[in-house]
Structure 1
Amino acid sequence: MSNSSSERIVEALRTWIATAPAGAQLPSTRQLVAQYEASPVTVQKALRTLIGQGLIESRPGVGTFVRAIRTARPHDYGWQTAALGTPAHHIPNLSSALRTTPNDVISLHSGYPDKELLPQRLVRAAFTRAARGDSVVDRPAAAGLPELQSWFASQLGAMMPAGLTAPVASDVVILPGSQSGLSTLFRALIGAGRPLLIESPSYWGAILAAAQVGVRLIPVPSGPNGPNPEDIERAFVQTGARAFYAQPNFANPTGIQWSTQLCESVLQIVRKHGAFLIEDDWAHDFGITADSAPLAARDDSGHVVYLRSLTKSVSPAVRVAGLIVRGPARERILADTQAQNMYVSAALQAVALDVVTQPAWRTHLRSVRQQLAARRDLLITALAEHAPTAHLESVPRGGLNLWLRLADEINLHQLTVDCESRGVIIGAGDHWFPAEPAGRYLRLNYSGANPGAFTEAGRLIGQAIQAQ
């Protein structure tokens, strides 16, 4: 009743305002209460609605008045062209993976798992506990909470063979998500104008971070079995690069996991050239038929800089990542981190630590593995039946995505438009190439919402491909 009364007053006052001159004073609240036979709360609600619509303004201690109608006029921002000058580096557009979409479409483009694959109960409980603790009012150390540093170090150390020195808490820097970490790494270890080897295709966020820093990317082709060591060796020799960014486990977008032999070959190459391997273990918690096997667990000489994020596996609201780096490089990275972010929210670090140290965390990860396997296989089956020309070069053993090769004559932009018009959003593969695309590709995320619609999605994608 209150809502309908409030709406009735809003409509009546809007009619009065339409004929009133700018600056006209509205009746007092007491007068409006009597006029419309409503409570003061209902009248105040109606006035707040009109203020929010920009029709009236309140002047404390004076009254409420009709606002003057401002005539819209174009603004000339041309002066900024001279002030800004030419961009120092071309910044790519944000990937379609970050698009938000309506609920009535089938989304296969997102870079994040559906909330049904997240430890929601653990996260909510962790936030509640954190709110009662000192983390919400404390400023943490720049390198992070010692307990969380220790957790990241122990996780990697548990995978290292005997004879290698495991990392310790002081080797860890806590970062506000892996994207921030990549920018810090590229800035601190490489620098503007200098070369960085990168798999092609590779994570679009790394390509974006490199562009922001001004790093010069050197693409190294990566096929169904990963990059060829000879190509990596040649690129190091030709460019003098001192770092190689790679995702050896369940790469985004391809889902590739490097073989043991390839891992050893790459380690030998970076050691030979006195270089860093920047290892992005983004999908550590998303193994399906295999577990993540970080190269950092094979190296204690400081050549591998290891980045692991918890954002996708814990919650998008918990942007926390751990960076394990040894030697002088750590001090340089920590200095850059302090300059950019000062520190990571202690509350978010406390939440992350709470979640991953609960006994139910391991149970949750086992459940996620089963769900991802079912989702992946369901989408593969749907595409094989309805879109057989979309070629899947390898079934991913982990991660969140399928990487599909299309016929060269396919107009990829038109295909994404046609699919969207049919009700399914797909990820065009061009965003994942640091240089020109090597072909027509799609990246489809099988961890999004509504897996029951995967069969329909396959049918719609098949129709769009057939239309070309």
Structure 2
Amino acid sequence: MSNDSSARIATGLRAWIRDAAPGAQLPATRSLVREYGASPVTVQRALRRLAAEGLVESRPGVGTFVRAVRPARGPDFGWQTAALRTPRAELARVAGPLQTAPPEVQALHAGYPGPDLLPERLVRTALGRAARGAAATARPPAAGMPELRSWFASELADATPGHLSAVTARDVVVAPGSQSALASIFRALVAPGRPLLIESPTYWGALQAAHQAGVELVPVPSGADGPDPDVVDRSLRETGARAFYAQPSFANPTGAHWDVDRAEQVLAAVRAHGAFLVEDDWAHDFGIDAEVRPLAAHDDGGHVVYLRSLTKSVSPALRVAAVIARGPARDRILGDRAAESMYVSGLLQQAALEVVSDPGWRTHLRRLGGQLRERRDLLVAALREHAPSLALDVVPRGGLHLWGRLPDGTDTARLVRDCAAEGVWVAAGDEWFPAEPAAAYLRLTFIGPDPAGYPTAAAVVERAVGLQHG
């Protein structure tokens, strides 16, 4: 008999089960064979299907019965509340930008470029080469592979020719992505309960890492041109903080890009107070209309702790980043990294090195700048035409995002839900503030897979705003 016959029997029995009481016994197999003109094997196949659906249960030697509905009751984990006590830090939920959108929606919320903006061929080739080499089975040094550390050091030299102090491979610590690196930096530089200056708004991942490190966040307002150096100086003096986390180049989310004078003044304030500047150069490879000039290349006293990641520009699968620090700060960061994860996979380090050492890497970066410019301009034009309620104070000269201000009084959580209901995912700006949001904002990325859909997405945002302010 065919599977169609078993499906016919299952359909008939489902109708019988609907009218039967829980626990009622089904007709015997012999009766079902006669009723449906089927073989015993076909009848048993139908019964197994119903059992898999949870409609019936078999009792060997007795028969098959309609399954009684029992209330589902999971295990009791209440004892863990007493064992765990109060958490030492605020428990972070999965941030909005990390939420995975369904494939059919317009995703303007995420922070990782799609495959069409990545060096996919180089990555695949590099992974293959790394897997065939010694890195597949060898344990790398705790600080990272010497060749990769040398590459990161030389990149800092190339970023600002003529200004580099003596940064060497020894000053580089490889980490499994910038998030892990930030956690180690904050733990190494700031004692629990001590103040950490941080731009406001700023990268949500840095906020989460700081919360987990148990430090006290001190917001420093940062606008279209970055923070006011006088405010940085005053905050360091008044709080006694000895570290300031900042993104001088194409800040996430604002797009702010410090000019040379501001960078020098902020660095001078940090030096004057004997403090550290944690420079997150996350967008090093995402310049569009401006070049990146790391502050770390101007520092010869170990005040700048520099962070650069390859995860966004190479591949999300290659979580490789580097911290450049000197003196005891470097040793403490390395000690924290070793205690947390011992070392970064040599296979991933070798693959990353293969990618950035390939001549095609520079070709990819030149092409990427043009792609980002085109997508940025498309989204800016779409928002200005179709979402005039969203104010763009800055058209960023690099990076991956736009930062738009909503009308006062906008409920951003509701707006995000309303947009999602129409197939457009956006990120509420609240997650980028270390304290209460200064206003209602959205962060929108221009790295999604469907730039042609930007006008439609912008119109959805405007309709969602209109539902609250129309």
TM-score, normalised relative to structure 1: 0.87
Q: Secondary structure of 2:264's partner?
A: helix
Identity of aligned residues (%): 55
Q: Secondary structure of 1:311's partner?
A: coil
Tell me how far apart the structure 1 counterparts of residues 140 and 431 of structure 2 sit (CA, whole Å): 36
Is residue 2:138 matched to residue 1:106?
Answer: no
Shift of 1:165: 2.4
| Residue pair 1:382, 1:454 contacting (<8 A) in 2 also | yes
- List per-residue Cα deviations over 1:136-167 (Å, max 9, x = no partner): 11111100111100000000012344364231
Tell me how far apart the structure 1 counterparts of residues 24 and 128 of structure 2 sit (CA, whole Å): 51
Partner of 2:180: 180
Shift of 1:94: 2.6
Partner of 1:429: 429
**Distance 1:141-1:465 versus aligned 2 partners, 3 A rule:** same
Is residue 2:450 matched to residue 1:450?
Answer: yes
Q: Secondary structure of 1:158's partner?
A: helix
- List per-residue Cα deviations over 1:19-75 (Å, max 9, x = no partner): 999xxxxxxxxxxxx9879xxxxx9xx9x99999999xxxxxxxxxx9x99963243
Q: Secondary structure of 2:399's partner?
A: coil
Is residue 2:372 matched to residue 1:366?
Answer: no
Runs of 4+ in 1 over 6 A off after TM superposition: 4-16, 18-21, 34-37, 48-55
Shift of 1:297: 1.2
**Distance 1:5-1:393 versus aligned 2 partners, 3 A rule:** farther
The within-5 A match list for 1:30-45 is: none
- List per-residue Cα deviations over 1:69-105 (Å, max 9, x = no partner): 9963243322222111112222343320001011121
Tell me how far apart the structure 1 counterparts of residues 7 and 170 of structure 2 sit (CA, whole Å): 61
The within-5 A match list for 1:64-463 is: 72-162=72-162, 164-463=164-463
Partner of 1:25: none
Q: Secondary structure of 1:104's partner?
A: coil
**Distance 1:10-1:278 versus aligned 2 partners, 3 A rule:** farther
Q: Secondary structure of 1:293's partner?
A: coil
**Distance 1:163-1:321 versus aligned 2 partners, 3 A rule:** closer
Which amino acid in 2 is paired with 1:298? H
Tell me how far apart the structure 2 counterparts of residues 166 and 70 of structure 1 sit (CA, whole Å): 73
Listed as ranges, the gaps of 5+ residues in structure 2 are: 18-22, 26-38, 56-63
Tell me how far apart the structure 2 counterparts of residues 317 and 179 of structure 1 sit (CA, whole Å): 14
Shift of 1:462: 1.1
| Residue pair 1:270, 1:276 contacting (<8 A) in 2 also | yes
Tell me how far apart the structure 2 counterparts of residues 53 and 173 of structure 1 sit (CA, whole Å): 54
Q: RMSD of the TM alignment (CA)?
A: 3.1
Tell me how far apart the structure 2 counterparts of residues 276 and 51 of structure 1 sit (CA, whole Å): 65
Shift of 1:107: 0.7
Q: Secondary structure of 2:235's partner?
A: helix
Q: Rg larger in 1 or in 2?
A: 2
**Distance 1:360-1:12 versus aligned 2 partners, 3 A rule:** farther
Tell me how far apart the structure 2 counterparts of residues 323 and 91 of structure 1 sit (CA, whole Å): 26
| Residue pair 1:204, 1:433 contacting (<8 A) in 2 also | yes
| Residue pair 1:242, 1:274 contacting (<8 A) in 2 also | yes
Q: Secondary structure of 1:314's partner?
A: coil
Tell me how far apart the structure 2 counterparts of residues 94 and 311 of structure 1 sit (CA, whole Å): 19
Which amino acid in 1 is paired with 2:464? A
Tell me how far apart the structure 1 counterparts of residues 334 and 52 of structure 2 sit (CA, whole Å): 45
TM-score, normalised relative to structure 2: 0.86
**Distance 1:387-1:125 versus aligned 2 partners, 3 A rule:** same
**Distance 1:77-1:291 versus aligned 2 partners, 3 A rule:** same
| Residue pair 2:135, 2:350 contacting (<8 A) in 1 also | yes
The number of residue pairs the alignment matches comes to: 439
| Residue pair 1:195, 1:215 contacting (<8 A) in 2 also | yes
Listed as ranges, the gaps of 5+ residues in structure 1 are: 22-33, 38-42, 56-65
| Residue pair 2:194, 2:216 contacting (<8 A) in 1 also | yes
Bigger shift: 90-99 or 141-150?
Answer: 90-99
Tell me how far apart the structure 2 counterparts of residues 174 and 147 of structure 1 sit (CA, whole Å): 11
Shift of 1:237: 0.6
Tell me how far apart the structure 2 counterparts of residues 145 and 359 of structure 1 sit (CA, whole Å): 21
| Residue pair 1:161, 1:298 contacting (<8 A) in 2 also | no
**Distance 1:15-1:262 versus aligned 2 partners, 3 A rule:** farther
| Residue pair 2:160, 2:294 contacting (<8 A) in 1 also | no
Partner of 1:27: none
Tell me how far apart the structure 2 counterparts of residues 461 and 370 of structure 1 sit (CA, whole Å): 26
Tell me how far apart the structure 2 counterparts of residues 7 and 174 of structure 1 sit (CA, whole Å): 59
Q: Secondary structure of 1:198's partner?
A: strand
Tell me how far apart the structure 2 counterparts of residues 74 and 188 of structure 1 sit (CA, whole Å): 41
Q: Secondary structure of 2:313's partner?
A: helix
| Residue pair 1:160, 1:166 contacting (<8 A) in 2 also | no
Partner of 1:61: none
